[in-house]
Amino acid sequence: MEQVRLPHLFPVPEWMPGFLVAPGIGGFSLGDFIALFILLNFILGFVMFEIWLERKIGGHIQLRRGPLPVGPHGALQSPADVLKLLTKEDLTPNTADKRIFKMAPYLIFIPVFLTYIVIPWGGLWPFNLTVRPFDLSLIYIVAIPSIQGLGMVVAGWSSGNKYSLLGAARVVAQFISYELPMVVTLLSIGILAESLSVAQAVETQRASTWFMFLQPVGFFIFIITMMSEMHRTPFDIAVAESEIVGGPFIEYSGMRWGIFFLAEFAAVFLNACLAVALFMGGPELFPFAERLPIPGISGIPGISADSTLLRQVGDSMGVFFFFGKAMTIMVLVQWARFALPRIRIDQLTDLAWKFLLPASFANLILTAVYQQFGFYPFAAGIGLVLITLGIMAISYRNRRPADNGIRLVSVPRAA
């Protein structure tokens, strides 16, 4: 795993002691481990904030106010919940496969955490906050989170409960359906970036423009598939409360149950981060930062003086912009949870196989055309794809037939 050089990011400061950056176990330096430790704690803290935010957003959408009593505006509700979960009894059903049952929560959380290490957070002057932007990280972000699906299947199977088993079966169907369009979409990103590295994708977007403008279809597919991978509404069939009452998590209690939710919310933010890194320019402030003729300022060590001011700001405080964008996506996902009903399993797989997968392949081919032949064949192709997508959307769309629906009749008053 060779580390990709990020030319715009700051080099390691000179005053940093050497033993922190010297390669150690498995190529990871002591600094890397410190970074991992900080990252883990950050994720745990951020998830608490995220849960609070979701509950607040949900509350205000639903004519409620969300959590209030614990802390100002209920801000300490999540720590209080964690304390409660820690003190609850950790039940293991008699029918469960005990070792696997106890292992499953970690099998779900650890892959999510491991995927965080490739996120190019961007710079915070004079530091570079990317933990490990290695090559093939595009493959890594597909491969490692898939273990999470395995974890859910294992949780469902080992619980010894029929509902959780149904949930596990649904997880399998969902993962198989949605991994494919996602991988094909990521391949288009790989083609555009001419690399299989997330960090290189960010670099390419710096040089050209954000991929969400070059890849609107890909962006759309990525958002849909990531929501499905996280089992968020409207794709939460695996944990459907009103049908299979929580699915794989039904038998879990206490902190093990909490770890599932920790993993779910961590995955939401992770996928939002991936969407930002791959499609929204990563830590960049503005999509056309280089084009705006605002002269930059010089004299700050580590920041190149010949770029524009917007780019300099984006480089030196990129992590804030990264977070802002990621939280926008995150709130979008949370919003969908409170706005939409749940899709049925056959409709879910229909959507994946009959719509998203062909669309992602078309997108891949077009991307290759664009990369090889330039803009004009690409534009013609885009027109074709739009027409195809339109036809597919119309055929997919479940329109209200004219004869279906109600009518009002006046029944004469009986004598």
Q: Which residues bind another protein (CB under 8 A)?
A: 58, 61-64, 95, 160-163, 165-166, 169-170, 233-234, 236-237, 240-245, 337-347, 397-398, 400, 403-414
Q: How far apart are CA 163 and CA 101, in angstroms?
A: 15
Q: Which lies closer to another protein via its Cβ, residue 128 or residue 159?
A: 159
H-only helix segments in 132-194: 137-158, 162-193
Q: Which lies closer to another protein via its Cβ, residue 60 or residue 291?
A: 60
CB of 405 to another protein, least distance (A): 7
Q: Which lies closer to another protein via its Cβ, residue 25 or residue 408?
A: 408
CB of 303 to another protein, least distance (A): 47
Q: Which lies closer to another protein via its Cβ, residue 164 or residue 197?
A: 164
Residue 94: how many other CB atoms lie within 10 Å: 6
Residues contacting residue 254 through CB under 8 Å, at least 6 positions apart = 85, 86, 88, 89, 90, 91
Q: Which lies closer to another protein via its Cβ, residue 122 or residue 156?
A: 156
CB of 198 to another protein, least distance (A): 32
CB of 53 to another protein, least distance (A): 17
CB of 253 to another protein, least distance (A): 16
The rounded radius of gyration (Å) of the Cα atoms in the chain is 24
CB of 10 to another protein, least distance (A): 45
H-only helix segments in 3-160: 18-21, 30-61, 77-87, 98-115, 137-158
Contacts by 8-16, CB closer than 8 A, 24 or more apart:
8/123, 8/203, 8/206, 8/304, 8/315, 9/122, 9/123, 9/128, 9/130, 9/315, 10/123, 10/125, 10/126, 10/127, 10/128, 10/302, 10/303, 11/302, 12/128, 13/126, 13/127
CB of 410 to another protein, least distance (A): 5
CB 178 within 8 A of CB 229: yes
Q: Which lies closer to another protein via its Cβ, residue 32 or residue 236?
A: 236
CA 214 vs. chain centroid, Å, equals: 20
Q: Which lies closer to another protein via its Cβ, residue 87 or residue 404?
A: 404
